[in-house]
Amino acid sequence: MRTQVAIVGAGPSGLLLSHLLAADGIESVVLETRSEEYVASRIRAGILEQSTVDLLRAAGLADRLDREADPHRGIHLQWPHERHHLDFVELAGRQVFVYGQTELQKDLVAAAHARGQDVVYEIDDTALHDLETDRPSVTFTDSGGTARRLEAEVVVGCDGSFGPSRTAVPADVRRTWERTYDYSWLGILADVAPSTDELIYAWHPDGFALHSMRSATVSRFYLQVPNDTPVEEWSEDRIWEGLATRLGHGQDGWELTTGPITDRSVLPMRSHVSQPMRHGRLFLAGDAAHIVPPTGAKGLNLAVADVALLAPALTALLRGDHARADAYSDTALRRVWRCTHFSWWMTTMLHTSPDPFDRQLQLSQLRWVTSSEAGATGLAENYAGLPIGF
């Protein structure tokens, strides 16, 4: 097989990249280990930044999003006995949109079908070759068990945190940074109308809680739990009691409505950055290059921002102009580190620490970002998203 761009991974990064390249007349083939159904049903985060939505609109991918996404002006930040609303539109001139990554993935899959995109699902044994030449290739075994080789001019690793692309950058040029956290999230999906108009991020001595949502009838919640917590330790009753306490049921007349829980899982948290995001004819985008903890919902938005830079850079490269491709890694990493800092900052401000000194610092920081316009604007600007190319 031969194509211009071989894309490893059919998550949001890989499918969006193939879409943007196709719009520029560049041909690609996407290779994916999982099935199309599996990839389109994974439950992930649910907040899109203004710049993500603007890009999806410009790419013609936002018809359903424009009908179904719920625009939010901001978030609620709270701690016991106090809840504050931060209005991002007033503070930063931008809003965010509630639209599950699962829904975006379905839209990307539909668009790939509509344009006849070559996506090879259920492959095995992915291996990258000759990345330092201008004839790189990817070998794999297809679902029928046949060994195949895809030759390309460029290979893009969009294969998430466990794919082979990141480590295809040789160890002597690759630098990584990592931060692990002492806690995880128990994530819950429930068939119940949200009990809030906009997301609630709650600091509580028992641990952080987040009230998010997917639609008018489906809510998403998270509870801070110790690492390696078995999901069975949290019965439905314990989950709802924990959420009621941490989110402040009964506080100033606010009530949490409960409903049937349809999914629950424990999600570990880490920060990870691997650079450079380009080596020879290999480029990395999305989770393949960086992981952020989910507080602040940056992961998907950061992946979209990478791809927004990479698509025009590859188009230019394939037409003989190297400048943007040469600048890609440094340009993308500016935003990656900004989002890495913001996600770490939101995480460490909101997750309860056993250290009493840390707790006082967290509460002081929360009071500052909810009472000072300068503090609130900093949070709003980062949460609602810096412009692409920041």
Distance CA 28, CA 201 (A): 40
Q: What's the distance, Cα to Cα, between the start and end of the chain in Å? A: 37
CB 157 within 8 A of CB 284: yes
Distance CA 229, CA 234 (A): 9
Select which of 12, 19, 72, 194 is catalytic.
Answer: 72
Task: Please identify which residue in the block is written with the tokens 């000759």.
Answer: 130
Q: Pick from 11, 14, 46, 207: which binds ligand PHB (CB under 6 A)?
A: 46
| 106 catalytic residue (yes or no) | no
Distance CA 348, CA 336 (A): 18
| 81 catalytic residue (yes or no) | no
| 181 catalytic residue (yes or no) | no
Distance CA 51, CA 376 (A): 20
Q: Between 248 and 296, whose beta carbon lies closer to ligand APR?
A: 296
Select which of 204, 211, 272, 298 is catalytic.
Answer: 298
Q: Between 48 and 261, whose beta carbon lies closer to ligand APR?
A: 48
Q: Is there binding between residue 153 and ligand APR (CB under 6 A)?
A: no
Task: Please identify which residue in the block is written with the tokens 């009990």.
Answer: 195
Q: Is there binding between residue 300 and ligand PHB (CB under 6 A)?
A: no
**In 36-87, which ranges are continuous DSSP H helix?**
36-41, 50-58, 63-68
Distance CA 229, CA 223 (A): 11
SS3 60: coil
SS3 379: helix
Q: Is there binding between residue 362 and ligand APR (CB under 6 A)?
A: no
Q: Between 210 and 333, whose beta carbon lies closer to ligand PHB?
A: 210
CB 152 within 8 A of CB 5: yes
Taking CB under 6 A as the criterion, which residues in 92-151 touch ligand APR?
Answer: 101, 126
Q: Between 220 and 272, whose beta carbon lies closer to ligand PHB?
A: 220
| Candidates 24-32, 263-271, 295-303, 319-327; binding stretch for ligand PHB (CB under 6 A) | 295-303
Distance CA 198, CA 213 (A): 8
* Partner whose binding site includes residue 13, from ligand PHB, ligand APR, none (CB under 5 to 8 Å by kind): ligand APR
Taking CB under 6 A as the criterion, which residues in 222-261 touch ligand PHB?
Answer: none
Q: Is there binding between residue 186 and ligand APR (CB under 6 A)?
A: no
| 121 catalytic residue (yes or no) | no
Q: Which two tokens stand for residue 349?
A: 């401000």
Select which of 99, 222, 328, 383 is catalytic.
Answer: 383
Residues that bind ligand APR (CB under 6 A): 8-14, 31-34, 39, 44-45, 101, 126, 158-160, 162-164, 286-287, 299-300, 303
Residues in touch with ligand PHB (CB under 6 A):
45-47, 199, 210, 212, 220, 294-297
